[in-house]
Amino acid sequence: MFRIHAAELLVVRLPLKFRFETSFGVQTEKVVPLLVLHGDGVQGLSEGTMEFAPMYREETIAGALHLLREVYLPRILGRTFANPEALDDALGSFRGNRMARAMVEMAAWDLWARMLGVPLGTLLGGRKDSVEVGVSLGIQPSEDATVEVVRRHVEQGYRRIKLKIRPGWDVQPVRAVRAAFPDIRLTVDANSAYTLADTGRLRALDDFDLTYIEQPLAWDDLVDHAALQGRLRTPLCLDESVASAQDARKGLALDAGRVINVKVARVGGHAEARRVHDIARAFGAPVWCGGMLESGVGRAHNIHLSTLPNFTLPGDTSSASRYWETDVVNEPLEAQDGVMPVPTGPGIGVTLNRDFVERIAEVQEEFHP
């Protein structure tokens, strides 16, 4: 059992080391909400992955901060819980807003694991002390630039290369990369930029031996994905469309996709992420852990989740130094030859870089029962 005595909410703005372009637009910085739950002499950490505007899913940073302040935190502070899944008694009646709810649930998992003195991955049922990782590469200004950025990351040993695509920038860069690197594990991610009217263009990607095409169609549509999957040889990977284990079951039953990208915050936390993992495993569908440009807090959570046995494809948890000059955690999270060590120690295995975070924090609030 664990008791939540107090909470802190911090928001920092981190400049990215590179320009990251997707079908949503261009990103040069990341606003990172952080939650700290205080227990008996230990702290649990989590990170919000929602954006300032509802582009990836429907949640926003402003909405999440309001829910945390006014709805979620008042219902857990000063209470004792048997385990993190018991938070459902306090939060289970509220609809949607899974990313905001995940901040509470994930911090509770970290708090509980630290109190027990065991790594988070162990509590979740993980079996690995390291995980294979890939890299997600934004849209580049030319085919030559795309090939060059792929070359740099192949030389660094990443086990999968993912290219962001959009209508009008899809077949050309993929053809160029596959010609230059005939043997790499290659995927593409459309972030819902296409419709069934683009089936012909998406079918052209069948020629390039892709491991999967990620979320080509609407974020809330499984039926059209099923229609598209029936017309392609390449497996589809569901991302935005899977917000719960039930979504995963329906998507796999419909053959709307044959791979699932598990983002722990998108589905509401570790407990639901594990259920998604289990359902996919029952269908014989591999899963992998997607990224949302997380800082070291969210990255550590993702690494621990990826130790579960059905995470058989490389995830997006590449080296933190790719993204930030200074991270919000003290411990370096760095891959070597495409393999990321699981942070050792209790909980998620990283500690908050307090001096740095408090110096740059745009929001810093404390909450008590």
Q: State the catalytic residues.
A: 164, 263
- Give dist(CA 52, CA 54) in Å, integer: 7
Task: Give one DSSP letter per residue of 224-268, joined into a string.
Answer: HHHHHHTT-SSPEEESTT--SHHHHHHHHHTTS-SEEEE-TTTTT
**Which residues lie below 8 Å from residue 19, measured CB to CB, with a gap of 6+?**
26, 27, 28, 138
Whose structure tokens read 């983002």? Answer: 263
Q: Which residue has the tokens 């852990």?
A: 289
CA 92 from chain center: how many Å? 22
Distance (Å, whole) CA 100 – CA 173: 36
User: Distance between CA 240 and CA 243 in Å, rounded?
Assistant: 7
Residue indicated by tokens 């909405």: 63
The number of CA neighbours under 13 Å toward the Cβ of 6 is 9
Interior angle at CA 290, CA 286 and CA 295, nearest 5: 150
- What is the H or E stretch that residue 287 is in? strand 287-289
Q: Across the chain, which distance is largest between two alpha carbons, in Å? A: 60
Q: Looking at the DSSP assignment, which residues form a beta bridge with residue 341?
A: 130
Q: What is the 3-state secondary structure (H, E, C) of 99-121?
A: HHHHHHHHHHHHHHHHHHCCEHH
CA distance 86 to 92: 9
